[in-house]
Amino acid sequence: MGEKAMKKIISIFLTAILATILTVNPVSAEGIEIGSYFQIGSYNGAPILWRYMADEYNGKLIVSDKAICFKTFAAGEDGYPSSRWGSDFWEESAIRKWLNSKAGAGEIEWPNGYTPSAKGVQFSGWSQDVKYPYADEAGFLNENNFSIQELSIIKTISQWQMLPENRIELAENGETRPYLSAYTFGSGRQPYTEHTNYIQELNEAYRGAMYRVSDTMFLLNETQIYDIWNKFGEAGSKIANTSMLGKEINNDYCCYWLISSAIDREGYGLSRYDAVTAINGKNEYVFAYTHPDELGIRPGFYLNEANLIIKSGSGTEEDPYIVDGAGQNGVAVFSNGEELSMDQKPVEENERLLVPARAVFESLGAEVEWDEEKEVVTATDGETEIVMQIDNAVMEKNKKGEEEEISLEAAPRIIGERTMVPLRAVSEAFSAKVDYIEELNRVVIDKQPAPSPDPNWCPPWYKRMFGCSK
The secondary structure of 206-274 as a DSSP string is: ---SEEEEEESSB---HHHHHHHHHHHS---B-B-GGG---GGGTTS-B-EEEEEE---TTT--TT-TT
The pLDDT of 171-186, averaged and rounded, is 69
CATH topology of domain 332-446: Copper Amine Oxidase; Chain A, domain 1 (3.30.457)
Q: Is 7 helix (H, G, I), strand (E, B) or coil?
A: helix
Question: Is the model more confident about 84 or about 268?
Answer: 84
Q: Is 183 helix (H, G, I), strand (E, B) or coil?
A: helix
**d(C-alpha 327, C-alpha 337), whole Å:** 18
> With bands split at pLDDT 50, 70 and 90, how would you rate the model's confidence at 29?
low
Single-letter residue type at 223: T
Least reliable range by pLDDT among 3-12, 152-161, 330-339, 415-424: 3-12
As a whole number, the mean pLDDT across the chain is: 83
The pLDDT of 292-299, averaged and rounded, is 90
Q: How many residues in the chain?
A: 470
Cβ(219)–Cβ(257) below 8 Å: yes
- Chain centroid offset of residue 74 CA: 18
> With bands split at pLDDT 50, 70 and 90, how would you rate the model's confidence at 143?
very high
Say what the pTM is. 0.87
Q: What is the pLDDT of residue 197?
A: 72
Cβ(201)–Cβ(220) below 8 Å: no
Q: What is the pLDDT of residue 449?
A: 87
Cα dihedral across residues 198, 120, 259, 295: positive or negative: negative
Kindly list the domain boundaries of the chain, sorted by start residue.
37-305, 332-446
**d(C-alpha 214, C-alpha 131), whole Å:** 30
Single-letter residue type at 354: L
Least reliable range by pLDDT among 146-155, 181-190, 379-388: 181-190
- Provide the greatest CA pair distance for the chain: 96
Cβ(389)–Cβ(408) below 8 Å: no
**d(C-alpha 202, C-alpha 223), whole Å:** 7
Single-letter residue type at 451: P
Q: Is 75 helix (H, G, I), strand (E, B) or coil?
A: coil
- Residue pLDDT, tens place only, 32-73: 999 999 999 999 999 999 999 999 999 999 999 999 999 989
Question: Is the model more confident about 125 or about 70?
Answer: 70
The pLDDT of 288-311, averaged and rounded, is 91
Cβ(122)–Cβ(292) below 8 Å: yes
The pLDDT of 69-96, averaged and rounded, is 76
Least reliable range by pLDDT among 111-125, 298-312, 342-356: 111-125
